[in-house]
Amino acid sequence: MDLFDIAGQFSVEGNCLDVQPFGNGHINDTYAVTCASGGGVHRYILQKLNSHVFPHPTALMNNFAAVTAYLRPIIKQEGGDPDRECLRLIPTTQGAAYYVDKEGEVWRMTQLIENTDAFLIAESSEMFADAGRAFGLFIRRLQGFDAASLIEVIPDFHNTVKRYENLEKAIAADKAGRAAGVKDLIAFARARKEKTSIIVNALKNGEIPLRVTHNDTKLNNVLIDTASKKAICVIDLDTVMPGSLLYDFGDAIRVGCSTAAEDEKDLGKVHFDKENFAAFTRGFMHGLGDGITEKERSLLPEGAMLMTFECGMRFLTDYLEGDVYFKTAYPEHNLVRCRTQFRLVEEMEQNAGFMHKTVEDICSEIK
């Protein structure tokens, strides 16, 4: 694979001088491409999509192209800078949105947004709040887009009912012979079975709207301006699909409101960070503005608990199946991950009153 040849398939400015690995992503292969012309130096991001994680990469790219094309004129109309606040696909020399190489692998190129960084952990609650604003703004700007027109690149990704069904199947099959050692976790999941349908049924019954959602709202999927420390661009649009904003809110809270790492073995270190919850919620609500329904607002805390519970179930399912999906560093890795998520669910349940009151108070502030 000649990376210079791949980069040359795209309509870059000038001649390609350098291609280097870029970032710390674990799914796609990502490179920074440097080109030069009489007008100066131009840098781009080149990515090869992971066809194992995304078995329908061309459908993914159609989603990517449609959403970014919709966003850019809206950002400009609102007085923003589309080239800094939205990813822009660089077309191939043939005018296509992506390039397919001889092995059938799909490549794409976007602009590299200069003077930005991605953070795994927020440096402050203010940074986390501004990331919340960026994700809320992303959803608001796309509220006029026909979410149903998007392809589900990972079907039932946040269908918590099906995630629970998958767990029960894994318990029954017990392929790795591990079920007897996790009876407490199985009981924990079963005690919350009825809650798994809250968001799924609300969508099905039309109680909450189907929206374009990001579905991977980790902090490092928002680029932060290195000077102002403000969130400026939501990136990693591979999992953009139809869904509920409760998914995006909930997953961000799951990751950003834990006081410990996802695989922390000492559960005494795993707590629900109430300050970060309030910060992100405030930013998210300000980003959404009036683009949220009353029913969605009332379910925000449940979204946080359900996305955390869902993630715990996925880790437990994979553990019971013999660690076939998530990468593990040791035999109990998925088990440890599951315990941290379930512990966080417990703390969220204990703080449910605080979460609901915080949402109500923030809504009152915005009004």
Give 237-276 as a DSSP string: GGG-EEE-HHHHHHHHHHHHTBSS-TT-S-GGG--B-HHH
Q: What pLDDT does residue 83 have?
A: 93
Structural tokens at position 14: 């000038």
Q: Which residues contact 35 (CB under 8 A, 6 or more apart)?
A: 12, 13, 14, 15, 16, 17, 41, 42, 43, 44
Cα separations in angstroms, 83 against 25, 107, 113 = 22, 20, 8
Q: What is the mean pLDDT of residues 110-123?
A: 93
Q: In what order do the strands lie in the sheet with 15-21?
A: 15-21, 29-37, 40-48, 106-111, 99-100
Cβ(98)–Cβ(247) below 8 Å: no
Integer Cα distance of 202 and 64 in angstroms: 27
Q: What percentage of the chain reaches a pLDDT higher than 90?
A: 88
Going by C-alpha positions, the residue among 277, 273, 234 that lies closest to residue 136 is 234
pLDDT at 27: 78
- Structure tokens, 343: 């512990």
The helices-and-strands tally (H runs, E runs) of the chain is 12, 10
pLDDT for the residue numbered 37: 84
Where in the chain is CATH 3.30.200.20?
Answer: 3-114
State the average pLDDT over residues 123-150. 95
Architecture of the 125-366 domain: Alpha-Beta Complex (3.90)
Q: Are the beta carbons of 185 and 40 closer than 8 angstroms?
A: no
**Residues for the chain: how many in total?**
367
Query: Tokens representing 349?
Result: 């349940």
What does each C-alpha distance from 267 to 189, 236, 259, 337, 344 come to in angstroms? Answer: 18, 31, 10, 10, 9
Integer Cα distance of 214 and 233 in angstroms = 13
Mean per-residue pLDDT, 139-145: 96
CB proximity list for 52: less than 8 A, separation 6 or greater: none
Residues forming CATH 3.90.1200.10 domain(s) in the chain: 125-366
CA 309 – CA 212 distance, rounded (Å): 22
Residue 163, pLDDT score: 97
The answer to whether the beta carbons of residues 150 and 214 sit under 8 Å apart is no
CATH topology of domain 3-114: Phosphorylase Kinase; domain 1 (3.30.200)
Cβ burial, residue 271 (10 Å; 0-12/13-18/19+): middle
pTM: 0.93
- 348 in Cβ contact with 302 (< 8 Å): no
**Average pLDDT in the chain:** 94
Predicted local distance difference test score (pLDDT) of residue 89: 97
Residue 1: the pLDDT is 66
Provide mean pLDDT across the span 341-367: 94
Comparing 117 with 365, which gets the higher pLDDT? 117
* Mean pLDDT in residue range 109-123: 93
Provide the β-strand partners of residue 116. Answer: 225
Mean pLDDT, to the nearest integer, of 344-356?
97
pLDDT higher than threshold 70 for residue 367: no
Q: In terms of pLDDT, which residue wins out, 212 or 51?
A: 212
**What confidence tens digit (pLDDT) does each residue in 159-193 have?**
999 999 999 999 999 999 999 999 999 999 999 99
pLDDT of residue 26: 66
pLDDT (mean) for 205-229? 95
pLDDT in tens, 8-63: 999 999 889 999 998 776 678 999 999 998 778 999 999 999 888 888 899 999 99
What pLDDT score was predicted for residue 40?
85
**Do 351 and 274 form a contact (C-beta atoms < 8 A)?**
yes
pLDDT given for residue 335 in this prediction: 97
Q: Is the pLDDT of residue 365 over 90?
A: no
User: What letter would DSSP give residue 331?
Assistant: T
